[in-house]
Structure 1
Amino acid sequence: MSHNDFVDWWLETDYGRKSKIKWDSNRHTEIWNSYNQVAQVVDGAPKVMCKRCGKILEHPYTLSPTGIGKSQYHGTSTIQKHRKTAGCLRSEKRKKAEITNFLQTEGETSASIPFLQQDWEEDLLQFLTINLLPFHLIEHPSFKRIINKARSALSPPVIPSADTIRRRLGSLVKDRQQRILRTLPSGSKISIALDCWTSPFSQAFMAITSYFIDSDWVYRELLLGFKPLHGTHTGSYLSSVLIETLVEHNIEDRVFGLTTDNASNNKTLATSLQQALSDDTIITRIPCLAHIIQLSLGQLLARIKAVPLNESAETRWTEKQSKLAQENAKQSQISSTLNKVRYLAIYVNVSPQRRETFYNLQAANVKIVPIQDVKTRWNSTFLMLRRAKRLRTIFSLFCIEYDCEEMLLSEQEWRQIDYLLYITEPFFDYTTQLSKTRDVTAHYVFKIYNKLFDHLERSQAQLRRKRVPWKKQMLEALEAGRSKLDEYYSQADDLRGDIYAISTMLAPVNKFKFFLSSDWDQEWRDTYRLAFKKALVPYQAQVRTSSRDLQSSLTIARPSSKLEEMLDGSDIQPRGITDEISQYLDSDTVSMRPLTFWKEHQDRFPAIAALARDVLSFPATGARVERLLIPLEISVTIVVEATLLEKFFSQDELEAAKEERQEKLSEVEINPISDTEEQEDEPEDEPEEIIEDVPEDAIEDIPEDIPNKHGRPCSPSLPPTCTQTRVSGRKRKSREDDLFEYH
């Protein structure tokens, strides 16, 4: 059973009803790593079990009577002493001997006892079951290599202890980290992304990942540390953990950027980090774009009350849920449509019989079931609805067979699902692709913002013509999501050095032509070009220094004659470095990966190439760090309480992971918002006033106090502003504005 199920079961036992044990509290004493927490099946009495010998001892946090009529905790002294007893130590030696015999039997023993395949298979089976290992481990190539290597030894190999293997792992990790860091070119910078994570057993960690572009223009990703955290996770505390890791790898003076999510303590972290480092090291904090996209999506879903409330998938179907499903069927809001899908997913998955029936209704070779959305998993509502769309026919057949009409979706409700899928699909696509890509992403930020704004504004324009209440509700949701996206987009120009604009120009497919469209006015073009020049200054100085050092190291032969001197052409001065900017920015764009381009053109544009190596190193999202934590969750779970768990992921989590991997499904046709669909349930609109178009050049000539033909005063013409109107209707934030303005 899972840890939570274990605690729930224990609270219902005789002991759990009258006593309290903090099963979830952090155990900082090293001795706890040698024991599993268990309980008696009969009455729930808490115990601990030695991982080495399997002996059951009293739990240190249970009370025992004293001679003066009081009770006190047992404490950890007993379990510490047990580890030093002869019986426990002999048990470890016996285990080593058993493993050695398992790998290779001594010559005289093998000669006296014949090898039997059946005995060998039984030994393998016992090895797998005792250690809770999967059966397919037997077929894994690495397992076969270990067996073959042990067979080839001249004498039985010595089985190392767990501590020895742990130390060897640490040594291998450090060696590999240093080997990768040595590929960082001299003088180049490195960017950092980090994320905090809590294990299923309340152990907190911080993953610190570095990104840089090596000497061969390969984008490198390296996990620098997976550090345990204690106490309150303040920004200053997290900063101290990060600095310790940077110093450990001797890169504290080479950090360029820091990508984090938008938690307030991360802002404090960046400030504390900057204060702790030298004045020559300037840190730029970049907010995680994937996190911003999800915040915008969350705001959108919250407006229509579509955000899931549960942190994990429901695993029980109760009478209360049945009544809630019946009450929900009487509602006609978008949230009730989503609840129908959720209730049906729970109803199907909690029963093996119903799940089998659901499988049998499908003709496809690959059988799937509905999934639930949870608030702790990105894009889970989109994945739930897309899976439901794939199973639309099966949903209807199942509801009819089990007579659960309260979960049967109407045509209008399926249309609501279509609308939600159409609206939320770009959020899923960009988040997923940003998280998966192993290439540079810094130059995508402005483009992704533009694409999302275009999508939201196009959807808003289509929904403004609708009169059905639930479509009006979706329009409000779009406005809420757009507002949240605006909030973070307005902060883009507050980042040090206009880093987004510079990274955009460093992509050869963009260059400066990206800002020559009508989306940008001359003020912003001048601002970004000046920012590019300023950012290039230290790299130009670096290139000049390198050139002088190179020239001084070369021996230049004197010409043997005047004619040779004239023909040599050495008096012709090469083009200055300052010309790099115009040669690159104003040249034609090239459809090529940024790193490929700069590898081929680093000799032509040495200063800009050096700038690109640093600026393009920062990841637009820290979501890849979270993906690194997924296998770690499994590992920590196995190490901490393997004997108490039967499985590590629920069926719903596995199904959600499968659905996420299938990014584009030809069988799922997501219908866009229609301009022509007929709505029989739409109320008749009141006739709208028809306002004649007025030529733009005639607007300024109309006095403010002269009413128009409808009897209302005409609005005065808007004064010119320093904000930039985008084609899509957006405005670039001015330096004085805090938020965007709208037409």
Structure 2
Amino acid sequence: MDSSSNNDVIPSLGEEEECNDTMEPVEANSRSNTPTGSGQDRKRKRTSAVWSSFVIVGKNAQGKEHCKCKYCGKQYICEGTHGTDNMKRHIEFQCPEIMMHDPRQMLLKNNKSANMTVSNLKSQNEFRTIVAETIVLHDLPFSFVEWSGVRKMIGYCTDEFHMVSRNTAKTDVLSLYGIEKTKVKTLLEEAPGRICLTSDLWTSIATDGYMCLTAHFIDKNWVLQKKVLSFCFMPPPHDGVSLADKIKTLLCEWKIENRIFSIILDNASSNNSLVHNLKSHLNINKALLCDGEFLHIRCCAHIINLIVQDGLKEIDGVVHKVRESVKYARASQTRKQKFLKCIKRVHLDSKRGLRQDVPTIWNSTYLMLDSAIYYRLTWTSLELADSNYKHCPSESEWENVEKLCKFLRHFYDTTNLFSGTKYPTSNLYMPKVFITYLTLMQNLASDDPFFKAMSNQMYTKFNKCWFDFSTILAIAIILDPRYKMEFVMFVYERLYGAESKQLEEVKGKFFALFNEYVTSSTGRSTIRSSPPSYPSTSSGRQRVDDIDLVLLDFDNNINGDIVDIQRTQLDLYLEERRLERSIDLSILDFWKGNEPRYPELAAMTRDVLSVPISTVASESAFSMGGRVLDQFRSSLLPNVAETLVCSRDCILGN
């Protein structure tokens, strides 16, 4: 069958050498395993894709070069005057091995009119997927696929794959997002518990607003999941009502509006109105636990940032000197060389380097101070060697910087701990915040006016934030088997005294929340607690006498029995000896193993431990930076920007 007659069925194979339809069988044994044609033939590059299915085996008895099929061993003349149509026809219609294993096998056309089998097509599709993932992961423009250097590199490495156009790359990225979005929807549907949200606003360099909504939940395997649901364009106004309406729309789109446990927000004034509107909407269908008592949680990392920033304002003088010193040493190549000479003079390691801070980001200020204090002797040496250097701190100021670094280290580590997304953080809040309280109280009692002024300012802010924290974070520590109720009692007694009303309030809300889970699982508990069933012996219609109505009171007591069973379940957990606080415990593994013992309590724990205590989780979809989109993303259409952000989060999560 002539290949040209099948153009309506099989796509064109591309330009090839002129064919010879005569099939000349050759001897199986060849004189040489190395082709020995003319120099012109040796230099000529074989570009046809059929050579992925054929191999050169040498010359026959007549001195003609021949090849054989890799699958069935059929041999053909393959000198330059014969072309490759015979071999193409063999692969398409005649090879018994190919037809037996894959009856759909045929030759297809790719974008460069080269030949490709079905298996190679699969490889090309996988290659395109990898290209799309590369664009997403490394923030590359779609034009990346058309860069001459990239195309040259791919061409050098292999001729099996062919780089796509920028429009095709964009289509592939959009398709990739569709696939990943479907996976996230499936993951949400299979999750047995409720879902926590974090939301924050972003701004492009063109001042366009975007809302990032992230879901946090623990899946059926007790693995903490974080998925960016949306990174959508948010037109003004950015008031509470508009933000709440946008979130409600997204919750309906993802079909999770009846499964929300909490939402974590920063301290923006509009967020109070947002929470009020969202709570009112969700309570219409009784979608929230305890009427939304635990819906709103403030971002703890944001609170720490406010506390530290207030404290640093009080000691700005010494921080300013260090900042100006670092700027001076890094201002020019000449000064850098002079600073390096001073480092060698005092025998310190130059590889550690200096860090320049961003004054509005306090952790960068801490890192700057930490790097500068290491070169304390170097600064003194630089002051002697360079008369233009005027900002060297005094000995007493360096001592204060050293104390400040130790003090800020606690806040730096706590912020990093609170911002984690691979492990539960709600159970980490109370111990760390209590240590922060003790640290501030210790500094307030100090005779050092430097630290006393700073700690006094920070303590004022700390007190305000402490009283605003959500009770759910106290409940979370009760569900940690290393702390339980004893730790809450320990902390509250030191803060408010024995038998404080604050402690009773936590206990009351803890039991109320647990009862919500008991109520929702009553049907399940009834099955678990019900006695064995027996076949009925009555053969007619059962008669109910008035006296039987009295026994209904006894039947109804089964509900009370269930509640007693569940109360016993809770008492059993609280009365068991707590684990050692110092052990390295995976709290998710603990509750996964104890779920059969405490089914309702484990269900509540699953939701409480999924609560993040920082909104910076959404920022992990980006490499670095704050809530301002870079120039590349700012130039994209909103749907493309959302595709890149959400896809990157999914790929990194996978």
Matches within 5 A, 1:481-492: 481-492=458-469
**Structure-2 change in CA distance of 1:639 and 1:427 (3 Å):** closer
The amino acid across from 1:544 in the alignment is T
CA distances 1:308-365 after superposition (whole Å, capped 9, x unpaired): xxxxxxxxxxxxxxxxxxxxxxxxxxx1x32222222222323233234434554577
In the alignment, residue 168 of structure 1 is paired with which amino acid? Answer: S
Q: 1:384 aligns with which of 368, 379, 384?
A: 368
Match of 2:302 among 276, 279, 291: 291
- Counterpart CA distance in 1 for 2:209 and 2:158 is 39
Alignment of 1:72-471 (within 5 A): 151-152=159-160, 160-185=167-192, 188-279=193-284, 280-282=286-288, 283=292, 284-304=295-315, 306=316, 335=317, 337-359=318-340, 361-362=342-343, 367-436=351-420, 438-462=422-446, 464=447, 471=448
Q: How far apart, in 2, do the equivalents of 1:397 and 1:179 lie?
A: 63
1:580 aligns with 2:563: no
Q: In the alignment, what sits opposite 1:528?
A: 506
Match of 1:317 in 2: none
2:205/2:628 contact within 8 Å kept = no
| Shift, 1:278, TM fit | 4.0
1:611 is paired with a residue whose SS is helix
Query: Taking structure 1 as reference, are residues 156 and 405 closer, same or farther at Cα in structure 2, changes over 3 Å only?
Result: closer
2:356 counterpart SS class:
coil
In terms of mean alpha carbon deviation, does 249-258 or 273-282 score higher?
273-282
Return the alpha-carbon distance in structure 1 between the equivalents of residues 175 and 142 of structure 2. Answer: 25
Q: Please give the TM-score of this superposition, normalised by the length of structure 2.
A: 0.63
CA positional deviation for 1:558: 7.5
Gaps of 5+ in 2: 1-109, 116-139, 537-560, 637-654
Q: What one-letter code is carried by the residue in structure 2 that aligns with 1:294?
A: N
After superposition, the C-alpha distances for 1:611-665 in whole angstroms (9 at most, x for unaligned) are 11112211122222233344588985335569xxxxxxxxxxxxxxxxxxxxxxx
Counting only pairs closer than 5 Å after superposition, residues 338-737 of structure 1 correspond to structure 2 as 338-359=319-340, 361-362=342-343, 367-436=351-420, 438-462=422-446, 464=447, 471-492=448-469, 495=470, 498-517=471-490, 518-519=493-494, 521-523=498-500, 524-548=502-526, 576-591=565-580, 592-630=585-623, 636-640=630-634
| Residues 502/164 of structure 1: CA separation in 2 closer, same or farther (3 Å cut) | same
Q: CA shift at 1:367, angstroms?
A: 2.7
Cα–Cα, structure 1 residues 601 and 587, in superposed 2: closer, same or farther, change >3 Å? Answer: same
More helix by share: 2
Amino acid at match of 2:183: R
Instruction: State the Cα deviation string for residues 265-285 of structure 1 (Å, max 9, x = none).
Output: 111111121122243123410
TM-score by length of 1: 0.56
* Residue 277 to residue 547, structure 1, CA distance change in 2 (3 Å): same
- Does the residue aligned with 1:432 lie in a helix, a strand or coil? helix
Provide closer, same or farther for how the CA distance between residues 199 and 402 of structure 1 changes in structure 2, counting only shifts above 3 A: farther
Counterpart contact for 1:512–1:586, Cα < 8 Å: no
CA distance in 2, matches of 1:432, 1:621: 10
Partners of 2:632 and 2:241 lie apart in 1 by 32
Q: 1:207 Cα deviation (Å)?
A: 1.4
Contact kept in structure 2, 1:243 and 1:273, CA below 8 Å: yes
The 1:506–1:151 alpha-carbon spacing in structure 2 relative to 1, beyond 3 Å, is same
CA distance in 1, matches of 2:113, 2:342: 54
| Distance change (3 Å), C-alpha of 1:390 and 1:627 | farther
* SS of match in other structure, 1:626: helix
CA deviation string 1:175-234 (max 9, x = no partner): 23223323311xx21000112122344333221111111111111111111122222321
The code of the aligned residue for 1:514 comes to: F
Which whole-Å deviations, capped at 9, do the CAs of 1:714-741 have from their partners, x for residues lacking one? xxxxxxxxxxxxxxxxxxxxxxxxxxxx
Structure 1 residue 157: deviation in Å?
A: 6.8
Q: What CA distance in whole angstroms lies between the structure 1 residues aligned with 2:591 and 2:216?
A: 17
The alpha carbon displacement at 1:473 in A equals 4.2
**1:454 shift after superposition:** 0.5
- Further displaced range: 528-537 or 156-165: 156-165
| Counterpart position of 2:4 | none
Amino acid at match of 1:513: E
**CA–CA distance in structure 2, aligned partners of residues 456 and 211 of structure 1:** 32
Contact 2:143–2:166 (CA under 8 A) maintained in structure 1: no
- For the Cα contact (< 8 Å) 1:423–1:459, is it kept in 2? no
Distance 1:480-1:365 versus aligned 2 partners, 3 A rule: closer
Q: Is the 8 A contact 2:142 2:170 kept in 1?
A: no
Question: 1:602, CA displacement in angstroms?
Answer: 1.0
The whole-number CA distance in structure 2 between the counterparts of 1:246 and 1:149 is: 46
CA distance in 1, matches of 2:511, 2:575: 14
Counterpart AA for 1:610? A
CA distance in 2, matches of 1:454, 1:551: 48
How far apart are residue 287 of structure 1 and its match?
A: 0.6
User: Which secondary structure state, in structure 2, belongs to the residue aligned with residue 206 of structure 1?
Assistant: strand
1:420–1:442 distance in 2 versus 1, CA, 3 Å: same
Shift of 1:537: 1.1
Q: CA deviation at 1:415?
A: 1.1
Q: 1:434 to 1:240 in 2, by over 3 A?
A: same
Residue 525 of structure 1, CA deviation: 4.3
Kept after mapping to 1: 8 A contact 2:303/2:465? yes
1:423 Cα deviation (Å)?
2.5
SS at match of 1:619: coil
Structure 2 CA distance, aligned partners of 1:355 and 1:103? 54
Q: Closer, same or farther in 2 for the Cα pair 1:622/1:367, shift >3 Å?
A: same
Q: 1:373 is aligned with what amino acid? A: D
Residue 138 of structure 1: CA displacement? Answer: 7.3
Structure 1: distance between partners of 2:408 and 2:600: 42
Paired positions, count: 459
In the TM superposition, 1:7-26 aligns within 5 A as none
The letter of the residue matching 1:183 is E
- Structure 1 match to 2:31: none
